[in-house]
Amino acid sequence: MSPLEHRLRLILGHLYEDELESLLDLLPQDPHAELQEPESGLIMLRQQDVYEETFYAGEILVTQVELQTHGIRSQATVMGDDSRKAVMAAWVSACEQHPEATVLLGAFREELERVETAVALRRVEEDQWYAGTAVQFESMAEEEEL
């Protein structure tokens, strides 16, 4: 997975609709691309406990897609049932393998950077909001003693 693909994967679940559309609009178009119909399904989520023993935490919904463009085959699996996110991840993967990846994804990279900043700011705001709802057990104990 390329650094660009990794950056995209980190924010996919946090995108607003307009951000998703702006990124999709900047992907190169290939009318001859062979796109497999996106498929949604359940897979088992494997985890490791503190003793490094593997266990299954449950099922998660994923969407898978495969495409081929300019002789490059690409596949993507994303959590959730939004086929657009899976298609975007597959396109970015295919473009990253293309000899002219820098040209193909130039505007996409710039927009991704803008969206990453917006997502990071939202996450900080959310973290601050959640921190304000934390129960302060130490102060509760002092109140009970009064």
Q: Got the DSSP string for 45-106?
A: EEEE-TT--EEEEEEEEEEEEEEEETTEEEEEEEESS-HHHHHHHHHHHHHHHSTTHHHHTH
Residue 146 has pLDDT above 60, yes or no: no
Give residue-wise pLDDT tens across range 25-70: 999 888 888 889 999 999 999 999 999 999 999 999 999 999 998 8
By residue count, the chain amounts to: 146
Residue 142 has pLDDT above 90, yes or no: no
Helix axes 17-25, 106-132, angle to 10 degrees: 170
- Binned at pLDDT 50, 70 and 90, residue 140 comes out as low
Give the pTM.
Answer: 0.79
